[in-house]
Amino acid sequence: MRGPLILGLVALVLLAGLPIYLWRRPKAMIAANADAGVTVLFERDGGSVEDAGGALALALADAGGGKRVTLSEGKIARCFHQGGGRVSAERCDFLPPVHDALARAIRDNVACAPPASAPFTVSFVWSVDFERRTTHLWAGRSGSLRKRGSADLIRCVERGLGSPDWSTTQHQFAKYDVNIVASYPGSIGGGP
């Protein structure tokens, strides 16, 4: 007798919770920009959303002659309560100004990428602490180019970031780790 009741409650929670999750999750939106070819925007509620379904291809040409980078959809990897208590990633709110600033800094500093004969990825993780008003950019583990190889690129992108507008950026938690994975092509000539 209890089995069907429990199954019915679980089904009810799933049927009610799934649409709410799908409605609230952030979606990527791509808008044309005359300066850099393509700009990544994020939208939380309604509107016309063009879902890129994973990676957002951003063709960027630098002064050095045509380096291209592909950026993954930005996500909140972790967030923390005031005092340090970790929150599950699903409960973290979305920070469009922070995601946009990180994506812009990566695109603007594509020329800082190290020369490589094979394609590589860098996982950029930007820690934004609203409680202490500090930021830190570091290389996550999901990239193929690790800390030593990406150190100069990380420093270059971090210089281009600046600080978020602490007083106007809407946030629910004290600290966030924002993640974007950038895929860089290797050199066509095969040299390092």
The domain ranges of the chain are 27-184
Is residue 180 within 8 Å of 106, Cβ to Cβ? yes
Among candidate residues 115, 110, 116, the one with its CA nearest the CA of residue 58: 110
pTM attached to this predicted model:
0.64
Amino acid making up residue 108: D
Residues of the chain with pLDDT under 50: 27-65, 189-192
What pLDDT is attached to residue 117?
A: 87
What pLDDT is attached to residue 58?
A: 37
What pLDDT is attached to residue 85?
A: 85
What b/e sequence results for 104-116 when a residue is b if at least 16 CB atoms lie within 10 Å of its CB, and e otherwise? bbbbbbbebbeeb
Q: Which residues are CB-contacts of 100 (< 8 A; sequence separation ≥ 6)?
A: 40, 41, 42
Helices (H) and strands (E) in the chain, counts: 3, 9
